Chain A
């Protein structure tokens, strides 16, 4: 089971949730599968999906799911310590661990070798960590959304990508529609992102 198949099974569960998606092919696959204003696609800056997701979850009440990869987590490994020490029940970190840098030619990552990201997350102090095979990921995410405790899911799947188009949407459009939808869901008019006349 490759990442795109995991995302396809997640579609109905996360379609209406606020999702921050990892750079490169993961965002392209999610965008092609189910583009939503509740999706924030990272177009640059490898490694920060989990940090953006945590920042979002800490300041408001809606559930936030960060869909990250093993390579991106390894790039920003300190994020697991920050997440553990600032745990918030509305945050779910889904690490799709295919053991490779999927967007750059499927080079192997250390997570596919000796490094176990679930164990790293636990050692960082994350309490609710589940390592699941790809086919059990949708059920694990569903459970995480229903649960009040922050959850880290490491979804072990195979290396491989679907060929999907590059996202050409303007970055400001991506984040503005995301912010407005989130503010509306929270019952707020966004303080930022709207210019007063004059």
Chain B
């Protein structure tokens, strides 16, 4: 099973039925795999805070949600994470492409990369970093953890994890 199908299988096994995405080149394959999967409703968002609103609604409607986005979105969504997801105590798995790490060709991406973990730590968001492909073996447990504790949880996935792009 390739890494994209493995992640989608993890979502399905974790009973995630609603996924919103804002694309990143690193995430193109997993977004395609999600879109193709019959058990997952995929609703693309224009912006990540909008996507978190959709996820909040889906969860209150009885369906486990997830968001897929780039780490630059942490800068966009701080208020939403704090005043919607955390304030109302909602679970939200965030599968995040961690741009600006080793192998990054675009210098500007390093600018947000250096703030990513610090911002997540400042918000007390549990954060996992997938670097080797075998790290994906923790994916299912991270989803279970997220829906156990009703918190936003970040999974940072870097270029090494995705095998370059």
Contact = CB atoms under 8 A, between A and B. Distances in A.
Contacts of B59: 55, 192
Contact of B49 (A43, A47, A58, A172): A47
Given A43-B83, A45-B53, A182-B61, A59 B41 contact: yes
Nearest to B59: A192
A191 B150 CA distance: 12
Contacts of B91: 192
Contacts, number: 128
Given A56-B57, A78-B46, A45 B83 contact: yes
Interface in B36-75: 41, 43-47, 49-65
Interface centre among A40, A55, A64, A192 (most CB of B within 10 A): A55
Interface residues of A, number: 40
Contact of B58 (A58, A78, A178): A58
Contacts of A58: 18, 41, 43, 54, 57-58, 61
Given A55-B61, A175-B90, A76 B79 contact: no
Interface residues of B, number: 38
A76 B57 contact: no
B89 A59 contact: no
A58 B46 CA distance: 17
A183 B88 contact: no
